[in-house]
Amino acid sequence: MVTTAKAVGDLFDQVERKPDLLVDADLTVERDGVAFSVRGYDDLVAVDLPSFGAALTLWRDRPVEGRDAAAALTVAGLTAEIRVRGAPVARLGADAVPSSLAKRLGLGPIELFLDGTLLALTPRRG
């Protein structure tokens, strides 16, 4: 019988009873006409978006709040890294080291990479 989690707390309870997860994925996902890649390397899931605007749209339209996603990933032993054009801009989950800037901005336990953000915002040449 398959059970469905009715709340984030129920999901946490289900995940806590499982051993750490390992992810092996190589996907291309399209949402609202924007394609991005999702790659899993054991306990790291990298989401690489084509632009900073696409990353912001994905963040605004996320189905789960950042704090809840970070907590669920941590409980599962996973880390998600958000990249824009290959440059890491944020990390949440088990291996994230929450930044004081993210806390001040109300983003919760998320590690921000300012150097990656600057690279993502820099126009490419040729």
The reported pLDDT for the residue numbered 47 is 95
Asked if the structure places residue 17 within a domain, the reply is: no
Asked if the structure places residue 78 within a domain, the reply is: yes
* pLDDT at position 16 over 80: no
Asked if the structure places residue 112 within a domain, the reply is: yes
Here the tokens at position 67 are 């704090």
More confident residue, 108 or 12: 108
Asked if the structure places residue 74 within a domain, the reply is: yes
Q: Name the band, by pLDDT with cuts 50, 70 and 90, for residue 4.
A: very low
**Residue among 120, 54, 45 nearest 88 (CA):** 120
Query: Model's pTM, two decimal places?
Result: 0.78
The reported pLDDT for the residue numbered 2 is 46
Q: Which domain, by its residues, includes 82?
A: 23-121
The one-letter code for the residue type at 67 is R
Asked if the structure places residue 51 within a domain, the reply is: yes
Q: How many structural domains compose the chain?
A: 1
Asked if the structure places residue 77 within a domain, the reply is: yes
Asked if the structure places residue 7 within a domain, the reply is: no
> C-alpha angle 9/23/115, rounded to 5°?
90
Mean pLDDT of 90-97: 92
The reported pLDDT for the residue numbered 115 is 92
The reported pLDDT for the residue numbered 12 is 63
